[in-house]
Structure 1
Amino acid sequence: MSVLSSLVESIRSGAIEVVDLTAPLSSSTPVLKLPEPFGNTVPFRLTEISRYDDRGPAWYWNDITTGEHTGTHFDAPVHWVTGRDGEDVAAVPPARLIAPAVVLDFAAHAAGDPDFLLRIEHVKEWEAANGPLPEGGWLLYRTGWDVRANDQEGFLNADETGSHTPGVSAECARWLAEETPIAGIGVETVGTDAGAAHSFDPAFPCHSFLLGAGKYGLTQLRNLDRLPVTGAVVVAPPLPIVGGSGSPVRVLALVER
């Protein structure tokens, strides 16, 4: 049996489970809110064109209105000023969109501290227990934040001081970008950076360092608790939007059972 035939048969038999890491996309999907004077994305919206009626008797279809960075989405390097000369989302090599993944689970830490930050020592302790981060793969950072995904206010968790969501320290973001072989980082929160990252040095370090290094981001993931610590393969193909800085994406994980 060929390798591809074996893969298909393993999926059909359940030997490989396909786990959907994507949040459903609708008008209630939480979106990032930036303060004035910065521009903001629009919420996702469907506008009906026809639905088996005089506008089109045998078919149903819609126009969609959305931002590139709405819902579960892919960040390309050109999304950030440090990656302005890098790949747009259409230029990302297809082979990089299928990659191994590891899960770093800090949900218990984030449950006690919504401003929890992943630090270099956390990753090194994880590597000591589980092995090195995957070459060309994804670091999936579980914080348990996906339980808030159907509640805009709870998901952004903002007060008068700003948003309070878990993320990555500036030092760790630089280290992941410059010293590790990963292709990118995936998170459950609205963006790859912590809610308080506007006050970091530099501001929004995951965006600044990882995208500046030609790496990628995946956001608003769910079901990371269904993945093994190591051994999963992630399939994350964004729409090839020419000139696009990102795209909504259907993220799937292949897991041996």
Structure 2
Amino acid sequence: MTDSTLTTSLWEGLQSILEGRRFVDLTHAFHPGQPRFAAFPDEEREALFDIERGDGFSAHRYLIVGQWGTHVDPPSHFIRGGRTLDEIPVEEMILPLVVLDITSRVAGNPDATPTLEDVRNWESRNGAIPEGSFVALRTGWSHRWPDADAMANRDKDGLSHTPGWSLEVLSFLINERSVAAVGHEQTDTDPGLATSRQDFSLETYVLEQDRWQIELLANLDGLPEAGAAVVASWPKPQGGSGFPARVFAIC
């Protein structure tokens, strides 16, 4: 069998698997003025060449912080000596997708976080969370995008009320189920009450376990809680500590 035959057979096999599947883009389109971490500057964008101005082609220069819009955080974002973006292999970029849904609780309490009971209920319906999964926390928070005030949801005292992860769930997912990565709709891993006091211990925990994460996911509603795959990819800056990502689900 020739290499070309093998290639054709692989593609034909993929076509048969993907035929009739639903593709869901989980990525916000980034732009100047969007919600961002308070210490980060806004995006600057310049058209160096522009067809509309009569140039022969269009080319833009983007000045952005790596953690911009829907983005990937590798371990090196918080951890000295942690893996950088170019050190995460492409084999980790297509994973089983697990959706942990706490939307109904968040609707009544924006400070809600997932519990081990949520995980046990998920597993009672679907079986054990697969090793090497990407676990996405569905909160409904992405519907607030791109309203920065709504995303931060601060009270009169300046405290942010947003959902986030919990240590008990992250510890279980990483230590008991060996998941590869996590993701969420809100700006931070930690809930807003924690980030308001500059507590990013949950994000630190995830990254120090040599896992990576995606922040500011979109369109998680409507995804099945089990059985789908997620594809997450990003540019490959040498030594990169974060970058906008393109993420989508195949259902």
Taking structure 1 as the reference length, the TM-score comes to 0.87
Q: Is the 8 A contact 1:176 1:210 kept in 2?
A: no
* Match status 1:50 vs 2:49: yes
* Match status 1:23 vs 2:28: yes
In the superposition, relative to structure 1, how do residues 32 and 150 fare at CA in structure 2: closer, same or farther (>3 Å)? same
- Counterpart Cα distance in 1 of 2:208 and 2:90: 20
* 1:220-231 → structure 2 map (5 Å cutoff): 220-231=216-227
* Moved beyond 6 Å, runs of 4+: none
Structure 1 counterpart SS, 2:58 = strand
Cα RMSD over matched residues? 2.1
- Counterpart Cα distance in 2 of 1:176 and 1:53: 50
* 1:22-171 → structure 2 map (5 Å cutoff): 22-33=27-38, 40-52=39-51, 57-80=55-78, 83-159=79-155, 160-171=157-168
Taking structure 2 as the reference length, the TM-score comes to 0.89
Measured after TM superposition, the shift of residue 161 of structure 1 is 4.3
Measured after TM superposition, the shift of residue 118 of structure 1 is 0.9
Structure 2: unaligned runs, 5 residues or longer: 1-7
- Counterpart Cα distance in 1 of 2:49 and 2:25: 30
Measured after TM superposition, the shift of residue 10 of structure 1 is 5.3
- Counterpart Cα distance in 2 of 1:16 and 1:79: 34
User: Per-residue displacement from partner, 1:188-231 (whole Å, max 9, x unpaired)?
Assistant: 0012221122479x932331221111111111111111311111
Q: Is the 8 A contact 1:21 1:252 kept in 2?
A: yes
- Counterpart Cα distance in 2 of 1:119 and 1:84: 30
Q: Tell me how many residue pairs correspond in the alignment.
A: 243
- Counterpart Cα distance in 1 of 2:17 and 2:175: 37
Report sequence identity in percent.
34
Q: Is the 8 A contact 2:102 2:113 kept in 1?
A: no
* 1:224-243 → structure 2 map (5 Å cutoff): 224-243=220-239
User: Per-residue displacement from partner, 1:12-60 (whole Å, max 9, x unpaired)?
Assistant: x5x1222100011111321011xxxxxx222223211011377x72111
Matching residue of 1:188? 185
